[in-house]
Structure 1
């Protein structure tokens, strides 16, 4: 299901559409091979490999995010209990997680990626008790992004592909920081 939202205080409408491997592989392949994405996603591979990755996702829900009509973001959402991450920190039954990236460098610094993060957190926190992510500890840009959104550290963990900072945000903290965001997003399935 595709959904759109304009968050309180924003003028940009964001649209979240489920990724279709057949239609979206070329765009996502392009983004995954950009120099600001490759070190963190480790998916700087061929288009057929990206297609296989997207088509093979099971517990991760991939989304293509657009501002107006312009695609700029890729997001994966998931239930932590269904993910290997749950074995690496004190996960709670209501934890939900996300991974995200901004493809075009021209979008970074515009404020639109922060709107995407707010919308992702609002959507997740309407479905779970606590939202988490696990960026590489060397990814200073992502760590700062998450802190600005209101996520706080639960510590660092060793994952097979990286040393990760586990960051989390609970509903009460999110609602205090971004009042009205969860209501704007609603409870979409």
Structure 2
């Protein structure tokens, strides 16, 4: 979780046989009341004929059972393939989350992080090494956070981190539920700020999360409580203010968008 948060118009940062079991007789007890039962011993060939099988002596050796590799759960990708979510229509245009590639995107993200409005909350200004280290830490992880460019009508204008809030250190600071999904955002294109775009995109991305992650019941965020524009953008996007949380690097406003309320707020 990044240490701080920038204005949503600028940024909202992070922070399993039938063999007997033990103790069981290997041979079942004989039925002592079955004295009148005839002990018929049928030829092996006849038994095989009745069973529709070849006689025992002619049957090939059974093939060895294939060695099965354990199949990871469907959510082994902890965020259900963010890169495959595809574009979504928004009032501002066609929007898509595109997972970051450091070699392609570092120069652009480095410039955004050095914007004073962003740097005040993300604290990744300076040389590109800081931004590169931050990105690599996420990309080298287990997939609980996916850094993305937000592309509007073909142009990258924002940076996003979609993360598993229930698996993040944030979960120690609020009553997390399984599959809670978190959002960090910054609007890098200065010309796009101050026009309500943050709220529009936040609502669209929250809807994407709820549509693409059926196990997720809540989308959460934790902008800095001082970041009034960011909090306002989340509210306009259908999030509710749930609580204040003292995080290691900031006092945050815990914002929650509930699946059960998504069509009401």
- TM-score scaled to structure 2, two decimals? 0.63
Distance 1:14 1:164 in 2: 27
CA contact (8 A) 1:32 1:41 kept: yes
Which of residues 132, 135, 157 is equivalent to 2:223? 135
Which of residues 81, 88, 99 is equivalent to 1:18? 99
Shift of 1:141: 0.7
SS for the counterpart of 2:163 is strand
Distance 1:153 1:111 in 2: 19
User: Is 1:122 matched up with 2:207?
Assistant: yes
Which of residues 234, 259, 265 is equivalent to 1:146? 234
User: Is the alpha carbon distance of 1:138 and 1:115 closer, same or farther for their aligned partners in structure 2, counting shifts above 3 Å?
Assistant: same
- Point out the structure with max Rg over C-alpha: 2
Which of residues 195, 201, 225 is equivalent to 1:110? 195
In structure 1, runs of 5+ residues without a counterpart are 178-189
Distance 2:250 2:235 in 1: 20
Shift of 1:100: 0.4
* Counterpart in the other structure of 1:187: none
CA contact (8 A) 1:78 1:98 kept: yes
1:32-43 mapped onto 2 (5 Å cutoff): 32-43=113-124
Identify the structure with the greater helix proportion. Answer: 1
SS for the counterpart of 1:13 is strand
SS for the counterpart of 1:120 is helix
Distance 1:137 1:45 in 2: 25
141-150 vs 53-62, which moves further? 53-62
* Counterpart in the other structure of 2:182: 97
The count of corresponding residues between Structure 1 and Structure 2 is 175
Which of residues 72, 78, 87 is equivalent to 1:4? 87
Which of residues 110, 113, 117 is equivalent to 1:29? 110
Shift of 1:94: 3.1
Identify the structure with the greater strand proportion. Answer: 1
CA contact (8 A) 1:155 1:166 kept: yes
CA contact (8 A) 2:199 2:234 kept: no
RMSD: 1.5
Shift of 1:104: 1.6
In structure 2, runs of 5+ residues without a counterpart are 1-82
Shift of 1:111: 4.2
Runs of 4+ in 1 over 2 A off after TM superposition: 109-115
CA contact (8 A) 2:180 2:219 kept: yes
